[in-house]
Amino acid sequence: MLACCTDDCLGADCVQLTERESSVCNVICSSREPISFGKLKEATALHQELVSRIVRRLVVHGLVTKTADGYSGKCGQ
């Protein structure tokens, strides 16, 4: 699956993301360990409702996994 892309997403397994969704996904994917919601909100400078909605969409599409320690990305897998 091609993750965190915005424009060049064409395949059936690819999820097209808005610029904000891509930004959140990239922050999660660039973290070496699971990132907490608070740190994700801080890193993206987005309102918590928006971050929550975006993370929920990324989880539903399988781009991000929620764990007890935070969120982990499945970038490029």
Q: Could you state, in order of their start, the residue ranges of all structural domains in the chain?
A: 19-73
Note if the pTM is more than 0.75. Answer: yes
Share of the chain above pLDDT 70, in %: 78
> With contact defined as beta carbons under 8 Å apart, do 63 and 25 qualify?
yes
What's the rounded Cα separation, in Å, for the pair 52 and 60?
12
The pLDDT score that the predictor gives to residue 8 is 52
Domain 19-73 fold:
Arc Repressor Mutant, subunit A (1.10.10)
Q: Where does the pLDDT of residue 40 fall: very low under 50, low under 70, confident under 90, or very high at 90 and above?
A: very high
Share of the chain above pLDDT 90, in %: 48
**Better-scored residue on pLDDT, 75 or 11:** 75
Across 31-60, average pLDDT? 94
> With contact defined as beta carbons under 8 Å apart, do 46 and 39 qualify?
no
